[in-house]
Amino acid sequence: MKICKKLIAVSILLVAFFVTVTAEEADDKNAYLLSVISTPENTLAFYKGYSKATEDTASFLRRQISLTDDAMEKSMILFLLGVFRDDRSISTLIENFNVRNPMYDMPIDEIPFVREFPAEQALIRIGMPSLPAVTKLFLKSQEQAQRERCLSIIYFLYGRGVDNQKSLLFLTLTLEDEIDALEDKEHQALLKSEIEAFIRQYNEGNLL
């Protein structure tokens, strides 16, 4: 209850600041954005009061993520880039695909609003424009866990508005030609086996 009251109060202050900050100098606005990503509570408050971000807001956050080594700050930035749904952020999300939210096991406001891998969450929010980059990552990645997460994103994107079996069919047909075009036959076989395993998991009821 105390956390909720605190979030409401912070939200009101942040929304008021966001409305007036456009008239301030760029340095003041950037300082405000740094305060937004400094804690999960501030990020959540900003998100609840968010209406529309300007390109310079997303651009600043994309630059900032390369300047911080703090996994929590990176996670908050990645989450917000997804909220903005700006496809110019896709390359940044791919570059930070493995960033894990250290606060994932300590949810704010009773739900883990920022998922374990926030770049994955953001790419899904952006939707189909992220598909080529996620597909490319799946094809070239040397990490099995990373490839499995790529498959989950592709499956989810194709699953919007269709039944799950059609989503699996779209996933298979989309990746088949891409995999066949690879020169490394061993890698081809590996990727195909992972797709088969993914579909088998679904058919056995092990996919959410």
Same domain, 134 and 122: no
Same domain, 106 and 23: yes
Same domain, 62 and 39: yes
Report the domain count for the chain: 2
Same domain, 45 and 58: yes
Same domain, 22 and 39: yes
- Dist. CA 104–CA 29, nearest whole Å: 28
- For the whole model, what pTM was predicted? 0.76
Instruction: Provide the greatest CA pair distance for the chain.
Output: 58
Residues in contact with 104: Cβ distance below 8 Å, sequence separation at least 6, in sequence order: 112, 114, 115, 116
Same domain, 23 and 122: yes
Same domain, 74 and 143: no
> What local confidence, expressed as pLDDT, does residue 91 receive?
96
Instruction: Write down which residue in 126, 161, 188 finishes a domain.
Output: 126
Same domain, 114 and 132: no
Give the range of the structural domain holding residue 18, as residue numbers without chain letter.
1-126
> What local confidence, expressed as pLDDT, does residue 38 receive?
76
What separation in angstroms does the CA of 193 have from each of 72, 140, 152, 172?
A: 35, 15, 15, 12
- Dist. CA 135–CA 133, nearest whole Å: 5
Radius of gyration in angstroms for the set of CA atoms belonging to the chain, rounded to a whole number: 19
> What local confidence, expressed as pLDDT, does residue 108 receive?
60
What separation in angstroms does the CA of 132 have from each of 90, 118, 171, 189?
A: 10, 19, 12, 21
Same domain, 135 and 208: yes
Instruction: Write down which residue in 84, 109, 126 finishes a domain.
Output: 126
Other beta carbons less than 10 A from residue 34's beta carbon: 15
- Dist. CA 68–CA 48, nearest whole Å: 24
Same domain, 138 and 68: no
pLDDT, one tens digit per residue, over 106-146 is 766 555 578 899 999 999 999 999 999 999 999 999 999 99
pLDDT tens-place values along the chain, 208 residues long: 444 444 444 343 444 444 444 444 556 677 877 887 777 777 777 766 665 556 678 888 899 999 999 999 999 999 999 988 888 999 999 999 999 998 887 766 555 578 899 999 999 999 999 999 999 999 999 999 999 999 999 888 877 655 666 777 777 877 888 999 999 999 999 999 999 998 888 777 655 5
Q: 3-state DSSP call for residue 25? A: coil
Instruction: Write down which residue in 105, 126, 147 finishes a domain.
Output: 126
Residue 25 Cα to chain centre, angstroms: 30
